Structure 1
Amino acid sequence: MLLCMSHRTGKPRSTPLHSVSVAGAVVREDGRVLAIRRADNGTWEPPGGVLELSESVEDGVRREVFEETGIKVGVERLTGVYKNVPRGVVALVFRCHPESGAEQLSEESTAVAWLTPAEVSDRMAEVYAVRVLDALREGGAAPAVRAHDGIRLLVRRRVMPVRRVPGA
């Protein structure tokens, strides 16, 4: 049994550690994005899953996309970090491009499709659509960092910047 200690108190933690998942926002030259309809709950999402302890994040993205869709991808860049607050899952989303393979179903997917950005917004729940839409932003943009409750994004309160008063 793994016992996790709090760095503040030195006592055992009362909550488990976070798990890390990876997902690929696979974008074709025509701007369509690869999506799956999950077998367990019927929702449309970008392909992805839990990162294994022994693999790099890039290898995890490549493995998950291939396992769920039959498409081999090249990983381009990190486009967002998303935290499911109630479940303690941190998802790393990477923009990818297709390299080879053909769409196929898996035990985890009942449909594989290339969606337009409008179809992403229509078919996916907000917490998944935003991941794909963030990945479609221009390449120079910093990765998005967002939190959600499993269904909807959690809106952070805006913190007003502190203005320095000259001579103070």
Structure 2
Amino acid sequence: MATPDFVLALREKIGNAPLWLTGVTAVVLRASGTPEVEVLLVRRADNGAWTPVTGIIDPGEEPAVAAEREVLEEAAVVATAERLAQVQVLPQNVYGNGDVTQYIDLVFRLRYESGDPFPADGENTEARWFPLDSLPAEVSQNFRARIAYAASDEREARFTR
């Protein structure tokens, strides 16, 4: 994942100290022409896992706009945020260079508008649609839960406790 310039600037000041960031998970859904609904997934270049599009919210950026931007940047797909599906704090992450980061993650449900998915920015090696009931084995349990919350008919966001 490309590190945003504002994070690099902060790292110059704080070194590897813990950094609290806000991220988005963009669960893009589309009707496939059958009763089946499909979800957009990308295969990450860093670890090979299939995930929904994820990213860091830029300073001053609206979270729903960040989700839409990340989908366009990473998968060349135009999608519209429909609702917030989940809010959770992810476990602390220590990167290979020693940087410590923890994210509050905002999971959004997005409606597909246009575009044929492909790995547009180098952060991913593949981008494609999968039926909701046929996700690849490499999708983690946490991402499966995020996808399920976003795909559900619930109107309220879930808050992890």
Which residue does 2:13 correspond to in 1? Answer: none
CA shift digits 1:112-156 (9 cap, x unpaired): 11112232373301111110111111143x21223xxxxxxxxx6
Counterpart CA distance in 1 for 2:92 and 2:119 is: 30
Residues 121 and 111 of structure 1: is their aligned pair in 2 closer, same or farther, counting only changes over 3 Å? closer
Specify the code of the residue in structure 2 equivalent to 1:18.
W
The structure 1 segments of at least 4 consecutive aligned residues displaced by more than 6 Å after TM superposition are none
Matched, 1:64 2:70: yes
User: Over residues 66-94 of structure 1, what are the superposed CA-to-partner deviations in whole Å (9 max), with x where a residue is unaligned?
Assistant: 11100011110000112113232111010
Contact kept, 8 Å, 2:76 with 2:117, in 1: the verdict is: yes
Name the CA distance, whole Å, in 1 between partners of 2:125 and 2:158.
29
- In the alignment, structure 2 segments of 5+ residues that lack a partner are 1-8, 11-16, 94-101
Tell me the equivalent position of 1:152. Answer: none
**Residue pair 1:23, 1:64 contacting (<8 A) in 2 also:** no
* Cα distance in 2 between the residues matched to 1:145 and 1:45: 20
Shift in alpha-carbon separation, 1:101–1:48, aligned structure 2, 3 A = same
Match of 2:146 in 1: 131
Match for residue 109 of structure 2 among 86, 91, 95: 95
TM-score, length of structure 1 as denominator length:
0.73
Distance in 2 between residues matched to 1:42 and 1:17, nearest whole Å: 25
1:49 Cα offset (Å):
0.5
Q: State the one-letter code of the partner of 1:22.
A: V
**What amino acid sits opposite 1:120 in the alignment?**
L
CA deviations over 1:27-80 (Å, ceiling 9, x no partner): 102310000000111111100211100311111011101111000111100001
With structure 2 as the length reference, what TM-score do the two structures score?
Answer: 0.75
Q: Does the Cα contact within 8 Å between 1:81 and 1:90 map onto a contact in 2? A: yes
| Identity level (%) | 30
Is contact 2:50-2:136 (8 Å) kept?
A: no
Other structure's SS at 2:30 match: coil
Counterpart residue number, 1:73: 79
Alpha carbon RMSD of aligned pairs, Å? 1.9
Q: Which amino acid aligns with 2:123?
A: E
One-letter amino acid of the counterpart of residue 53, structure 1: P
Stretches of structure 1 lacking an aligned partner (at least 5 in a row): 3-14, 147-155, 157-168
Larger RCO (CA under 8 A, 6+ residues apart): 2
Cα distance in 2 for residues equivalent to 1:28 and 1:119: 15
- 1: CA distance between counterparts of 2:146 and 2:127? 17
Matched residue of 2:80: which SS?
A: strand
Aligned residues: 134
- 1:110 matched to which residue of 2? 125
